[in-house]
Amino acid sequence: MIRCLKIVLLVLLIVGCKNNKINKPEKPKNLISKKVMVDVLYDIALISSAKGSDRRTLEEKGIVPQDYVFTKYSIDSLQFVESNNYYSHDIDLYEQLYNQVKAKLEKDKEGFNEILQKEKAEKAIKDSIATINRKHTDSLRKFGKDENGKQIKEFFKKDRRQSPLKKADSSRISTRR
């Protein structure tokens, strides 16, 4: 009995898997071109990452990311779903589309990294100039000059008051008895 059951299950499994072909969807009438599809997927990837990092800002401004993309490219959600379904059926073609999206994202990343490096370099230069100016100002103050190199009059007045060579006023000295 068990042997018969195993044979019946094996036959059902073979027959069930034999006709398991997935038919390629028909080409939609309003198919989005490959170039536009790459741009749409690129924008969706950018907005998805922005939504993940700063969702509150998008919600406060009332921006619905997918609606924004659909409006930008004058497509609707049904057209996008049908085109995405059509392209995704051909794995090699879909991989090419996503490789183009990935290349655009990498190019943007390199551009942003270059800008970041330039900003860091400019900040380092400004910091080093500020450090040099601070040292220069400190050394001028040491000699009684202001930032423009003019002599500070109060510096010498202050120095004379604290001079140890002054004679002591005997009336101010108190003695203990």
Q: What is the mean pLDDT of the chain?
A: 77
Q: What per-residue confidence (pLDDT) applies to 105?
A: 93
**pLDDT: which is higher, 8 or 109:** 109
Terminal Cα distance for the chain, rounded: 129
Burial 166-176 (b: 16+ CB within 10 A, else e): eeeeeeeeeee
Q: What per-residue confidence (pLDDT) applies to 57?
A: 78
**Residue among 160, 36, 131, 149 nearest 87 (CA):** 36
Q: What per-residue confidence (pLDDT) applies to 46?
A: 87
Q: What is the mean pLDDT of residues 137-158?
A: 55
